Chains A and B, each alone.
Chain A
Amino acid sequence: MNKVLFFAHLRDAVGEEFLTVNASGKTVAELKAELSAKYNLPKMETIMTAINEEFASHDEVIRDGDEIAFIPPVSGG
């Protein structure tokens, strides 16, 4: 299983700080698409992903036990 953490407006949209899902074998892009559809999340292409606190690209494959965090870049300043 995998713990998936959400930040900023994603957390509001999902309604939880984290979810536990089985994402093993999926790519980051696949997991994004799945969550985006399930929770009606805004576009996730430019949301950064960390796997075990390390930057991960869209095609990186998630392994069992990996912790995933979705970090939306914001533009306010």
Chain B
Amino acid sequence: MNERYSRQVLFPGIGKEGQAKISSKHVLIIGAGALGSGSAEVLTRAGVGKLTIVDRDYVEASNLQRQQLYTEEDVAEKLPKAAAAEKRLKAINSDVKIISIIGDATPELLEDLVVGVDVMLDATDNFETRMAMNDVSQKYKIPWIYGACVGSYGMSFSMIPGKTPCLNCLLRTIPLQGMTCDTGGIISPTVQMVIAHQTAEALKMLVEDWESVRTSFVSFDLWRNQYTSMKMSKAKFPGCLSCGDERTYPFLDHENMTKTTVLCGRDTVQIRPSIKGELSLDRLAGQLNSLGYTVKGNPYLLSVEMGKERMVIFQDGRALIHGTKDLTHAKSIYQRILG
């Protein structure tokens, strides 16, 4: 074992044997935003054997405050996050095999990528992708670690198929109007705290110290000084369609996904959410206003100016993104605002 990992090998939870395991394992990180760039750096420095990172966005100036892998140069070049992450991670540790995928983490892509993966880390910004990850985790029996944050509030939960409840047991449905960093703001320490929880859990799984994996659901508020740990032993839902006896993996089904279509002859993409429900347009308008967006609206819809694009959101969650024909970009704008 080389000098590089000596301090980590000294740590009793890892040791020589643990380090050898880490260097033989493959981690899949979905998302290369704040959580993804942080987790990827921790695991690359820790010497994981292979790391695959997936992201559909490019680097923007508003990312630099917290997304630790990126530089002003990446912003100037509008580099895709996955490509910028790969460049930086390879410079940090050339022992690690880094694979970057520029694209939307659809169920099809997740099912392709998950082959041979030991642990999946959640670093996405929306529940649709998380629910698909959850189904993939159950279908292919691969543990995954949920992590999310907004403002000074963050949370994490480790899920092991066959052992713990799954995300679908806890939520039963996709939250329609989830709080995101684009609507609720975010400070970097919150990101770091979630990364600390997710990567510590990942290391335990990589060294196969299953006994030490956290079984409770952690949530905290760094500004309000709250830390809670919720026991999950009663949370498994027997009728769960993702992990129960009559499972159907509903979130791998195309029917249950957000639909995007380019409107014919117009520079516009239409987005239809997978779940039906009513948005609180007043609340959304208030959040967007306080972030400095120009918002106009009436009781039926909101129109939001977002740089080059304009988004019109209807009460049933449907939206039109004007000023683009790029389906992935449009979906990204939509999920940034609506979660």
Could you tell me which A residues sit within 8 Å of B by CB distance? 7-9, 11, 17, 42-43, 45-46, 48, 50, 53-57, 69, 71-77
Contacts and interface: CB of A to CB of B under 8 A. Distances in A.
Contacts, number: 115
Contact of A48 (B177, B217, B221): B217
Contacts of B31: 77
B266 interface: no
Contact of A73 (B148, B184, B232, B234): B148
A65 B280 CA distance: 34
Contacts of B283: 42
Given A72-B179, A75-B127, A75-B175, A7 B148 contact: no
A46 B175 contact: yes
B184 A76 contact: yes
Contacts of A72: 179
A40 to B, nearest CB: 10
Nearest to A9: B179
Contact of B153 (A7, A43, A56): A7
Contacts of A46: 171-176
Contact of A7 (B127, B228, B280, B339): B228
Given A42-B177, A46-B171, A76-B184, A54 B149 contact: no
Contact of A76 (B172, B180, B217, B234): B180
Given A7-B221, A7-B226, A48-B170, A75 B180 contact: yes
